[in-house]
């Protein structure tokens, strides 16, 4: 799990202070690299994900609204980048998923947040909890299983079903 970052440094970076941004990126790089090595299939992809994440953080840190959510935001960027690289490597972008991603990419942020919030609320509680633990708190399957007193298989099945329901909701 990523470390807690100094809120003063985050505030200065968000305000555009180049020294603060550089310091923040230097502090975040080990966390990014560690997480990318866990999430990316290939070592080369992990290094590419690190570089792309650093660039995205540099460009987008000013849009960060809640400073205490920086670690989660950072890991979400890494996770998405690893997924993008895996899709490119294996050519597994289905037309259905590409259409959904394109639709979400062009939504204004407020509308996207509203859609995602409604999507999460539409999930049964047991599925919502799994998605929050996995994608927001970035827990491992084993960590979720331990926290909820479930088997790994049950966690994986619920996560799969939850994501399927979310895809169906967002397509409509």
Q: Kindly state whether residues 130 and 76 are assigned to the same domain.
A: no
Residue whose tokens read 């990126």: 25
**Are residues 58 and 72 located together in one domain of the fold?**
yes
> Strand, coil or helix: what is 4?
coil
Number of domains in the chain: 2
Same domain, 86 and 99: no
Say yes or no: 102 and 147 in one domain.
Answer: yes
- The verdict on residue 113 lying in a domain is yes
CATH number of the domain to which 82 belongs? 1.10.1740.10
Any domain includes 2: no
Domain assignment of residue 149, yes or no: yes
Number of Cβ within a 10 Å radius of residue 20? 19
Q: Given the structure tokens 């570089």, which residue do they identify?
A: 51
Residue 80 lies in a domain: yes
Q: What is the pLDDT of residue 99?
A: 52
Is residue 160 domain-resident?
A: yes
Asked if residue 141 and residue 84 are part of one domain, the reply reads: no
Q: What is the rounded distance in angstroms from the CA atom of residue 26 to the CA atom of residue 38? A: 20
Domain boundary among 29, 63, 90: 90
Write the pLDDT tens digit of every residue in 120-166: 888 899 999 998 888 877 788 999 999 999 999 999 999 999 999 98
Q: If you count them, how many residues does the chain have?
A: 172
* pTM (2 d.p.): 0.51
27 and 99 share one domain: no
pLDDT at position 93: 47
CATH of residue 121: 1.10.10.10
Ramachandran area for residue 93 (φ above 0: left; ψ -120 to 50: alpha; else beta): beta
Residue in 97, 166, 105 with CA at minimum distance from that of residue 130:
166
The three-point CA angle 18-83-40 to 5° equals 80
Residues 16, 37: one domain? Answer: yes
Q: Note whether 82 and 102 are same-domain residues.
A: no
Tell me which of 90, 106, 133 is where a domain ends. 90
Is residue 18 in a domain?
A: yes
Q: Does pLDDT of 116 surpass 70?
A: yes
- The runs of H, that is alpha helices, within the chain are 7-14, 18-39, 43-60, 70-90, 95-106, 109-122, 125-131, 141-148, 152-171
Domain end point (choices 64, 90, 116): 90
Same domain, 61 and 126: no
Q: Which domain holds residue 111?
A: 95-171
Least-confidence region, from 57-61, 100-104, 132-136 = 100-104
């Amino acid at each position: 799990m990523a470390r807690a970052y100094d809120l003063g440094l985050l505030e200065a970076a968000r305000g555009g202070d180049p020294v603060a941004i550089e310091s923040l990126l230097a502090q975040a790089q080990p966390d990014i690299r560690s997480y990318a090595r866990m999430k990316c299939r290939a070592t080369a992809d992990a290094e590419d994900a690190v570089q792309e994440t650093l660039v995205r953080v540099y460009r987008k840190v000013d849009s960060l609204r809640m400073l205490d959510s920086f670690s989660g935001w950072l890991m979400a960027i890494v996770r998405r980048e690893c997924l993008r690289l895996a899709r490119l490597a294996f050519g597994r972008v289905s037309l259905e998923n590409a259409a959904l991603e394109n639709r979400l990419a062009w939504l204004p942020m407020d509308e996207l947040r509203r859609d995602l919030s409604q999507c999460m609320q539409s999930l049964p509680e047991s599925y919502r909890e799994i998605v929050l633990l996995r994608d927001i708190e970035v827990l491992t399957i084993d960590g979720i299983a331990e926290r909820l007193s479930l088997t790994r298989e049950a966690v994986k099945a619920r996560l799969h079903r939850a994501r399927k329901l979310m895809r169906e909701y967002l397509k409509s």
